Amino acid sequence: MQTLSPRIPLSAKIFGWILVAAGLFFAWVYMAAPGSFFPGVSITSHSEQFGLYSTGVRILGSVLGLVIALLLDSAALLALMIATRVFIELGDVVVGLVINSGAPDANTFTLLVLAAVEAFFVVLLVRTVRAHHS
């Protein structure tokens, strides 16, 4: 019986679990210890608390989607989840450039590299799904 989506290639599965671990770490950073990682950030005002906590919740939502795709061993679902991350990373690059008046910084560079690696895995996963349906 042919399945809807092929199994996830091992390299993409490993990368997916790395994204899950990193996502859990960054959710913790935003929700529990922002002052330790973002110098000068205080979480005394409502807007700062809301911004940091809502970012953490959004990260956890992405982690949940990745975990579901990985547990279902679905290349198509993992491609979708990672593709949404590429969009988010590139959006963060644009925000960083606007905030820095067009000057890239280390964070912008890191996000571009991450988006490129994620895009590579999206292509790999889409090719896997297409080959499965051929």
Q: What is the pLDDT of residue 90?
A: 95
Residue 118: is its pLDDT beyond 80?
yes
Domain that holds residue 23: 10-133
Q: What is the pLDDT of residue 49?
A: 86
Count other C-beta atoms under 10 Å from residue 121's C-beta. Answer: 22
Structure confidence by residue, pLDDT tens digits, 45-77: 888 889 899 999 999 999 999 999 999 999 999
Query: What distance in Å separates the CA atoms of residue 25 and residue 66, rounded to the nearest whole number?
Result: 15
Query: What distance in Å separates the CA atoms of residue 107 and residue 100, rounded to the nearest whole number?
Result: 11
Tally of domains within the chain? 1
Report which of 19, 11, 5 is spatially closest to residue 114, judged by C-alpha positions.
Answer: 19
Residue 99 belongs to a domain: yes
Residue 44 belongs to a domain: yes
